[in-house]
Amino acid sequence: MNATLLKRLFGALQKGQGRDISVVCERIIEDQRRRGHNKLATELERLAPSGEHVGGEGSRSPGPENRALAPLPLSRREVAALVQVIPHDQLRHYMILPPSVESRFMRIEKEYAARTRLANFGLRARTRVLLHGPPGCGKSLGAERLAWATGLPMHKVRFDSLISSYFGETAGNLRRVFDDAERRPCALFLDECDTIARSRLERNDVGEAPRVVNMLLQLLEDFRAEGIVIAATNVDEALDPAIFRRFDEVLEVPRPGRGEIARLLKTTVSAVEVGPTVSWNHLAELLEGCSCSEVVQVAQSAAKRAVMGNRAVVEQGDFEASIPELHRVA
């Protein structure tokens, strides 16, 4: 069954949104009929709630004009979507991290799962997470992992739509994004958040930039939704100092050490046969200081060399010949 529909259904149930419940039920029935599950679709039709019962007082069975689910937030002037919804089945979630970093990711995931139990003791789960570190080391992957592990739909903020040249509109668009996250629990991802969170002390900023930072600080401070907010940046030193205090978890995603490099190489080429003379430790030594994405690039290039050379086995030379091809950025 479509995972997005299921999450929309449970979200509507949680919020008591009767109209959305009826519409989602209809979509599920249509989805089952398209898959050829006619008997199940007929049974679901009999069980489907009518709008007058699912939402309590004031709810009605959706007419033709009310059959759509709540739309994504849009910018006021451009009528462009402010977030990109990434389907759950497209989220990446496997990461290779140092044990200390892995344990902190797991703590966030476990606290979210136990958020109701924590609330009984007056405690709040970590729901505002800032990921920082060098480019290519897995911050976006980490955000996807958190969305996948919590079962939340991932809404990635589109800064190309959010940022406006008109005074006040950027802050207004940002509020609309957070208001939508309050209504529909999600993993709200602000990638490269330094775009809107740079220090207010910078001399070359015009009046609008501090206004947007102030809005972001207030929205993070007030965030009490059922979902989570994840921000990521490569340049944490450029962020406004007050931003860090608004997050429950500030987590560095570092460059991989030799152990992580060896595991990354092995995992990336796991679908092909590797020669017995390949020295993972030596390769890890050669690649020390590289980012995760660079290590993966070397492994993929080595595998391609073997395949394109009509060889069934990837050898040490394939890896070593791929290392100089890296485009290293100082």
**Structure confidence at residue 13 as a pLDDT band (50, 70, 90):** low
Nearest to 232 by CA among 170, 142, 164, 112: 142
**Across 276-295, average pLDDT:** 96
Question: Are 164 and 234 in the same domain?
Answer: yes
Nearest to 88 by CA among 200, 174, 207, 5: 5
Q: CATH no. for residue 142?
A: 3.40.50.300
Q: Residue 330: inside a domain, yes or no?
A: no
Q: What is the pLDDT of residues 120-162, one digit of tens each?
A: 999 999 999 999 999 999 999 999 999 999 999 999 999 988 9
Question: Are 60 and 111 in the same domain?
Answer: no
Checking if the pLDDT of 44 tops 90, the result is no
Nearest to 217 by CA among 242, 190, 187, 182: 242
Question: Are 99 and 247 in the same domain?
Answer: yes
Name residue 265's amino acid: L
pLDDT, position 291: 95
Residue 220 contacts residue 247 (beta carbons within 8 Å): yes
Question: Are 157 and 303 in the same domain?
Answer: no
**Structure confidence at residue 313 as a pLDDT band (50, 70, 90):** very high
- What's the predicted TM-score (pTM) here? 0.75
What is the token pair recorded at 285? 């030594």
**Structure confidence at residue 329 as a pLDDT band (50, 70, 90):** very low
Q: What is the pLDDT of residues 82-101, one digit of tens each?
A: 999 998 889 999 999 999 99
Integer Cα distance of 84 and 156 in angstroms: 5
Question: Are 270 and 315 in the same domain?
Answer: yes
Taking only Cα atoms into account, the Rg of the chain, rounded to an integer number of angstroms, comes to: 24
Question: Which residues, at least 6 apart from 171, have a Cβ–Cβ distance to it below 8 Å?
Answer: 208, 211, 212, 215
pLDDT, position 315: 97
Highest average pLDDT, of 202-211, 233-242, 253-262, comes from 253-262
**Across 317-330, average pLDDT:** 82
Integer Cα distance of 280 and 257 in angstroms: 13
Q: Helices in the chain by DSSP H: which ranges? A: 3-15, 18-34, 38-47, 51-54, 99-113, 115-119, 139-150, 159-162, 169-183, 194-197, 208-222, 241-245, 258-268, 280-286, 292-308, 316-322
Name the more confident of 301 and 54.
301
Residue 316 contacts residue 278 (beta carbons within 8 Å): yes
Checking if the pLDDT of 285 tops 70, the result is yes
pLDDT, position 24: 73
**Structure confidence at residue 330 as a pLDDT band (50, 70, 90):** very low
Question: Are 172 and 198 in the same domain?
Answer: yes
Domain coverage including residue 107: 83-252
Checking if the pLDDT of 219 tops 50, the result is yes
User: Residues 171-176: contacts with CB within 8 Å, 24+ apart?
Assistant: 171/208, 171/211, 171/212, 171/215, 172/76, 173/73, 173/75, 173/76, 173/82, 174/212, 174/215, 174/216, 174/219, 175/215, 175/219, 176/73, 176/74, 176/75, 176/76, 176/82
Name residue 166's amino acid: Y
Q: Residue 51: inside a domain, yes or no?
A: yes
| Helix H or strand E encompassing 129 | strand 128-132
Least confident interval from 41-45, 121-125, 219-223: 41-45
Q: Residue 72: inside a domain, yes or no?
A: no
The CA-based angle 48-49-51, given to 5 degrees, is 135
Question: Are 209 and 313 in the same domain?
Answer: no
Integer Cα distance of 322 and 63 in angstroms: 60
DSSP 252: E
Question: Are 176 and 309 in the same domain?
Answer: no
Integer Cα distance of 311 and 295 in angstroms: 22
Q: Residue 73: inside a domain, yes or no?
A: no
Highest average pLDDT, of 17-21, 182-186, 301-305, comes from 301-305
Name residue 29's amino acid: I
Q: Residue 150: inside a domain, yes or no?
A: yes
Tell me how many domains the chain contains.
3
Least confident interval from 122-136, 193-207, 254-268: 193-207
pLDDT, position 19: 61
Question: Are 205 and 245 in the same domain?
Answer: yes
Q: CATH no. for residue 298?
A: 1.10.8.60
